[in-house]
Amino acid sequence: MTPDFTFCTVQYDSGDWDSAPLVPANLIDSVARYTAITVAPTGVIVPLSSRDLFKYPLAYLTGHLPVRFSDLERRTLREYCARGGMLFVDDHNHDIDGVFHKTATEEIGRAVAPLKELPNSDPLYGSFFRFDDGPPATSHELNGWGDNLVHKQLMAVKTNDRISVLYSSKDYSSEWGFHPDNKRFLSIDNTKFGVNIVVYALTR
């Protein structure tokens, strides 16, 4: 049986695309734990310049370093979003003055469209678990690391009223970067918002 969902990490030529290697396994575990969605037990890594990206309508991109897409990567991302794919980008620096944020937002603007603030009433926040106050804060925000801000909203590019690029400055890559077995030590599972992103991508 073909799984409903396969976690896809995007590999791009510049920067450190593999800075959060534990996130895929953790989110795969959460999707399997909370939902009946059939999920592939392991994720895949797909170059942004590859046509294979189109096999995975939800893809995850992160990093700390400057992001500079090649022309082919830019074209591929533009087409990916136009066809209905959704790219989730997370700033692993949690720093809006950092190089990843500045370059990644610029590249997204060039490749797809400028990012805009996503209202906290968006269906994303109620697609499975309810987040009435918008995106959940991360421990990195609350501890004053990075830009020392608690970002109240995520940013997004929408195509036909559907999110095609979701951008986070909250550093979920650090928040979710632990072995799934360690969820048992958490009073509240902080990966639940990741499940919302997956469910949103499968239903909107």
Which secondary structure element, helix H or strand E, spans residue 77, and what is its range? helix 71-83
132 binds other proteins (CB under 8 A): no
179 binds other proteins (CB under 8 A): no
The single residue among 2, 132, 142, 188 that binds other proteins, judged by CB under 8 A, is: 2
34 binds other proteins (CB under 8 A): yes
C-beta closer to other proteins: residue 83 or 179: 83
From 8-16, 22-30, 78-86, 179-187, give the range in contact with other proteins by CB under 8 A: 78-86
203 binds other proteins (CB under 8 A): yes
C-beta closer to other proteins: residue 36 or 142: 36
63 binds other proteins (CB under 8 A): no
Concatenate the DSSP letters of all residues of 144-192 into one string.
Answer: T-TTS------EEEEETTEEEEEEESS-HHHHT-S-GGGGGG-SS-TTH
The single residue among 51, 75, 110, 130 that binds other proteins, judged by CB under 8 A, is: 51
* Alpha carbon separation from 194 to 14, 76, 109, 158 (Å, rounded): 25, 24, 24, 19
Strand 162-168, strand 86-91: pairing: parallel
Structure tokens at 108: 């997204």
The single residue among 42, 75, 83, 114 that binds other proteins, judged by CB under 8 A, is: 83
Structure tokens at 193: 């918002």
Total residues contacting other proteins (rule CB under 8 A)? 24
* Alpha-carbon radius of gyration of the chain: 16
Question: Which residues touch 145 (CB under 8 Å, ≥6 apart)?
Answer: 94
75 binds other proteins (CB under 8 A): no
Residues that bind other proteins (CB under 8 A): 2, 4-5, 34-37, 51, 54-55, 57, 82-85, 127-128, 160, 162, 199, 201-204
